[in-house]
Chain A
Amino acid sequence: MQPEIIPSGDEALTVYLAESPGEQALGRVLQFCEALRQRSVAGVTDLVPSYTSVAIYYDLSIIDYTSLCKLVREVIASLHAESGTLTSGRELVLPVYYSAESGPDLERVAAHNNCSVDDVISLHSAATYRVYALGFRPGFGFMGMVPAKIRTPRLDSPRPAVPAGSVALAEAQTAVYPLQSPGGWNLIGLCPVALFDRTCNPPSIYLRVGDRVRFEPVDRERYLELGGRLDG
């Protein structure tokens, strides 16, 4: 597709770099971010990569829309046409305590897919996921793709309070809730790693867009050893 630049806010614009989400689209998105970052453009305050687009935030008092668009077009033109292989991305392993106790929707996901709870666990933990976007809550990573055999639609009505650390899936996406919040995804386990840690200043955020994540099943005891909690 032809890349598109659209103003989206008085101090923001969206650059669309690909038609449909996937590894190739994300590769292009991250390559664009890196190339723009290397130019260290004065007045650009934030780059938010997501699936097929990049939101660029800028300070109007420092750079105007037209100049920024010109720069963005230059950066797009400089991208390698063959880009599509994701070179960046850390490999991360997140332990998960999968159980009825920690994942109240585990049975529902199994029933929806006519498989056993053990199948859900082994399929969910066998795949490697890519972080396509961060948002919804601080450090909430939208990860894909969930194997087709265990995809399950969201709940009809969201829960008012999903416990922090909940590992969840909705259709092709999976995620870990970094802090207690409302949520409509299917809860299948708990992860003891703090994805959003406010005990330090500035807080630490575990995931980055482009990371590759694998989930590793651990038992109750190990989950608690790793600092996991079961009190909601």
Chain B
Amino acid sequence: MDKPESLAAVTVERTGPMALIQDSGRAGRQHLGISVGGSADHHAAGWANALLGNPGDAALLEVCLGNLALRFDRATAIAVCGADCGWQLNGRPLANWSATRVPAGSLLECGPARNGIRAYLAIAGGILSDPVWGSRATTVGEGLGGLNGVPLRSGDVLAVPAYDITGRDGKHGAVPAAQQRRYGKALVLRLVPSNQYLQFTAEARRQLFRQVFQVSPQSDRMGVRLDGEALEAPPANMTSEGVALGVVQVPAGGQPIVLMQDRQTIGGYPKIGHVYTVDLDWLAQAVPGTEITFEPGTLEESQALLLQQRELFMSRDSSQFHENGFNGK
């Protein structure tokens, strides 16, 4: 960690149901039963970091359902992306999908999420909590990462690197309009058939691609549960095996579960396929009741889209980005 004098403090004055420190996740320990975790919406989180020129794996806040107030002891820069929850800086509205300078002593606040579920707040340089296996991602079920493995609480103090804002006027832009998202519409999730696909009846497979499901209120960072007419699931006599991001499990009840970042590392339910990783960003922002349909896809397309998304952020060093971003609105 940096020397104390090079740190700034951000104090949590008020927090909603679940504000979490997240980053790109804790990969590589699933063989010990450790979940990967990480930001649920990589599109929004990626843009928030990119707007500030932060590294792609810098830790930021995932503010679930909004309601947060932070006090900054020193001047810095921030970016807000994802769910729209009416951010205000010192009482003045702040545009979503944009970055801005924050004078010392500022109060940053947001209300409840009005569009989408998860807002991302990046701070210049990234949040500096103690990493666990190289990641600061909070996995609440395991009590790992973040500050003591739990969501933010009032009175918590976040450490961030001190940030020199002199000479950076106008250097903070917005996400290009085409990349800014409005959530709330029905989603089409592209699905690559996988492991136990052929063990499902032909009728169940047809039904999967024909039926309209709804996002269940019982959804969380472990998995998004879908309500709808039950799919006939094959007998669950299989032994548990590793389960990856986006895998769609169908338990005996016939209601599919799309596995998200905090999923268990192994599972024993039949898997009909996996959802394109880039489509999960939309799913992570879908409120209960959102209509979901599945469309057959291919691994080639799914992987190509994921690589494209990664390259978008990797190729954007800060200077190049600020030019694009600043004029993009």
Across the interface, B28 reaches (CB within 8 A) one of A45, A136, A209, namely A45
Whether A60 lies near B32 (C-beta < 8 A) is no
One of A51-59, A92-100, A213-221 contacting the partner: A51-59
Interchain Cβ contacts under 8 Å between A and B, 14 examples: A7-B192, A8-B243, A8-B274, A10-B246, A48-B31, A48-B241, A50-B239, A60-B307, A134-B265, A138-B34, A138-B35, A138-B144, A201-B130, A202-B132
In the docked arrangement, what's the CA distance between A55 and B194, Å? 13
The count of chain B contact residues (Cβ–Cβ below 8 Å) is 43
Whether A9 lies near B307 (C-beta < 8 A) is no
- The interface of chain B, by Cβ under 8 A from chain A, is 27-35, 130, 132-133, 141-144, 149, 192, 194-195, 239-247, 264-267, 271, 274, 276-277, 299, 302-303, 306-307, 310
Q: Tell me how far the C-beta of B153 lies from the nearest C-beta in chain A, rounded to whole angstroms.
A: 18
Whether B33 lies near A135 (C-beta < 8 A) is yes
Across the interface, B31 reaches (CB within 8 A) one of A134, A136, A137, A142, namely A134
- Indicate whether A133 sits within 8 Å of B142 (C-beta atoms), given known contacts A9-B244, A55-B244, A202-B132: no
The count of chain A contact residues (Cβ–Cβ below 8 Å) is 43
Across the interface, A51 reaches (CB within 8 A) one of B31, B241, B277, namely B241
Which residues from B are CB-within-8-Å of A139?
A: 32-33
In the docked arrangement, what's the CA distance between A139 and B302, Å? 32
Whether A142 lies near B274 (C-beta < 8 A) is no
Across the interface, A203 reaches (CB within 8 A) one of B132, B265, B266, B271, namely B132
Whether A9 lies near B142 (C-beta < 8 A) is no
- The interface of chain A, by Cβ under 8 A from chain B, is 6-12, 14, 21, 45-55, 57, 60-61, 64-65, 132-140, 142, 179, 181, 198, 201-203, 205, 209
Whether A135 lies near B239 (C-beta < 8 A) is no
Whether A133 lies near B240 (C-beta < 8 A) is yes
Which residues from A are CB-within-8-Å of B246?
A: 9-10
Which residues from B are CB-within-8-Å of A65?
A: 299, 303
Q: Tell me how far the C-beta of A154 lies from the nearest C-beta in chain B, rounded to whole angstroms.
A: 12
Across the interface, B239 reaches (CB within 8 A) one of A11, A52, A64, A198, namely A52
Q: Which residue of A lies closest to B242 (CB)?
A: A55
In the docked arrangement, what's the CA distance between A61 and B269, Å? 29
Q: Which residue of B lies closest to A54 (CB)?
A: B242
Q: Which residue of A lies closest to B246 (CB)?
A: A9
Across the interface, A55 reaches (CB within 8 A) one of B133, B142, B241, B274, namely B241
Across the interface, A136 reaches (CB within 8 A) one of B239, B241, B264, B307, namely B264
Q: Tell me how far the C-beta of B299 lies from the nearest C-beta in chain A, rounded to whole angstroms.
A: 5
Which residues from B are CB-within-8-Å of A7?
A: 192, 194, 274, 299
